[in-house]
């Protein structure tokens, strides 16, 4: 066991009553059967005056989480925001409970390959008690091991995270590979940080192959089925939920163009180009573009062969414009970060490229919680958990 060096902060500022009122007015405007707005406003003002915060009703929590997805400027897959399954876990405060429910989240979201959008909302930050936190950027991520020659086995993005967990006592598999699943790290003020191994049978992975290139399978590539984001805090009406992992399903380019293709990630484009026999001596042969297309074709093919939900960037771009039209017809602004909405491959061939969008923040929303990941690099060393069981 390791001693905890730095506890979580002991207090959160009181909730801004104006932000609470803004949310409640939105909730009642879009939920006409919600009851008396004035009575609810009076009750919430009393709670904030008394204890510095207030508790959302289950209906408010569900609506707030769904609208936070609707307002996510960087997400292209918002058309299905109403389908988000909200798990109300606000009474779960201990590390083992949070870890176990994260595992259950994986089970529910994976759904035998038919991916379901799910969010698991744990206890909020309050002036009396800090909320649980998850150190990992996503529930499932792969280790990165730096070799003596400076090269990396695995995911270079997670070298520092891997080194930190190794210093804290995590033991990688005896036979390391490029796709070793990192442990989950959960922290609470009472328990400190703990590491939990994710059950292998619940981390569904897709082996990569290509519809026309038999040698592609020999590269030994694979990727996990569900992208569960766990380093963003859910903000609803001034109440902050730092531990609220959520997922949709992958768009193919997230894996093929970014995780596999980026030069600071797996950087597979040169290897695929070599296998394809392309002329890499000059950039104007467009060998990078040709290799990247085949890499992305392999991802889409592999997920469909495995029966795991995935979408291509052309289809998802059309769906996003459908979502945008629905929002505009409802009289709502749809915030968009163009640099995230336009796909990282063949951007000008997608309809989302050729227009301008509304900017600015809409609330409720998700906010990047950089402190959670930073703690893994310079914070308290975690103890070992007893295992995250669903």
> What span, in angstroms and rounded, lies between the C-alpha atoms of 162 and 144?
6
Q: What angle do CA 347, 349, 353 make, to 5 degrees?
A: 50
Does 75 belong to an annotated binding site? yes
> What span, in angstroms and rounded, lies between the C-alpha atoms of 124 and 157?
29
Cis amide bond preceding 366, omega within 30? no
DSSP-based three-state secondary structure for 169 = coil
- The answer to whether 254 is a known catalytic residue is yes
Catalytic residue among 69, 223, 249, 287: 249
Catalytic residue among 40, 70, 78, 157: 78
Beta strands in the chain (DSSP E): 85-89, 118-122, 133-134, 144-146, 152-154, 184-188, 192-196, 205-207, 222-224, 228-229, 232-236, 239-241, 246-247, 250-251, 310-311, 365-368, 383-384
The string of DSSP codes covering 256-270 is IIIITTSTTTT--HH
Strand partners, 228: 247
Cα 385 to the chain's mean position, in Å?
Answer: 23
Catalytic residue among 254, 294, 316, 327: 254
Cis amide bond preceding 253, omega within 30? no
> Which two structure tokens, joined as six digits, stand for 213?
């290139």
The terminus-to-terminus CA distance of the chain in angstroms comes to: 24
> What span, in angstroms and rounded, lies between the C-alpha atoms of 16 and 363?
13
> Which two structure tokens, joined as six digits, stand for 284?
């104007």
> Which two structure tokens, joined as six digits, stand for 27?
């909730």
> Which two structure tokens, joined as six digits, stand for 92?
């779960």
> Which two structure tokens, joined as six digits, stand for 143?
């280790």
- The answer to whether 75 is a known catalytic residue is yes
Q: Which one-letter DSSP state was computed for residue 138?
A: B
DSSP-based three-state secondary structure for 222 = strand
Q: Do 340 and 73 meet the contact criterion of CB atoms below 8 Å apart?
A: yes
Q: How many CB atoms lie within 10 A of CB 136?
A: 25
Catalytic residue among 60, 70, 75, 233: 75
Task: Give the residue ranges of the annotated binding site.
Answer: 75
Q: Residues comprising the binding site for heme?
A: 75
User: Any idea which residues carry the catalytic annotation?
Assistant: 75, 78, 249, 254
């Amino acid at each position: 066991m390791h001693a905890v060096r730095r506890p979580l902060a002991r207090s959160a500022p009181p909730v801004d009553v104006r932000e609470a009122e803004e949310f409640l007015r939105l909730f009642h405007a879009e939920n006409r059967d919600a009851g008396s707005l004035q009575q609810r406003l009076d009750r919430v003002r009393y709670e904030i005056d008394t204890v510095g915060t207030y508790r959302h009703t289950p209906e408010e929590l569900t609506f707030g989480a769904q609208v936070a997805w609707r307002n996510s400027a960087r997400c292209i897959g918002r058309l299905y925001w109403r389908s988000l399954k909200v798990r109300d876990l606000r009474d779960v405060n201990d590390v083992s409970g949070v870890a176990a429910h994260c595992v259950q989240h994986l089970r529910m979201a994976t759904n035998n390959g038919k991916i379901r959008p799910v969010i698991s909302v744990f206890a909020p930050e309050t002036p009396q008690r800090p909320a649980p936190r998850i150190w990992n950027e996503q529930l499932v991520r792969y280790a990165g091991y730096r070799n003596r020659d400076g090269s990396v086995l695995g995911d270079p993005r997670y070298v520092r995270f891997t080194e930190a967990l190794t210093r804290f006592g995590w033991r990688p598999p005896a036979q390391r590979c490029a796709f070793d699943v990192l442990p989950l790290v959960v922290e609470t003020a009472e328990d400190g940080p703990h590491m939990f191994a994710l059950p292998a049978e619940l981390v569904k992975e897709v082996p990569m192959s290509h519809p026309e290139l038999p040698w592609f399978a020999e590269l030994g590539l694979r990727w996990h089925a569900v992208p569960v984001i766990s380093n963003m805090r859910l903000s609803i009406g001034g109440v902050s939920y730092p531990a609220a992992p959520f997922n949709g399903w992958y768009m193919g380019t997230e894996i093929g163009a970014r995780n596999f293709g980026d030069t600071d990630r797996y950087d597979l484009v040169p290897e695929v180009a070599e296998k394809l026999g392309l002329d890499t001596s000059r950039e104007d042969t467009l060998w990078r573009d040709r290799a990247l297309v085949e890499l992305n074709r392999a991802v889409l093919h592999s997920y469909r062969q495995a029966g795991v939900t995935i979408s291509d960037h052309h289809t998802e771009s059309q769906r996003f414009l459908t979502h945008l039209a629905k929002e505009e017809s409802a009289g709502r602004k749809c915030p968009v970060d163009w640099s995230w909405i336009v796909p990282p491959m063949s951007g000008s061939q997608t309809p989302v490229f050729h227009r301008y969008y509304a900017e600015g923040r809409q609330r409720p929303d998700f906010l990047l919680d950089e402190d959670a990941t930073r703690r893994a690099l310079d914070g308290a060393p975690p103890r070992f958990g007893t295992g995250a069981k669903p």
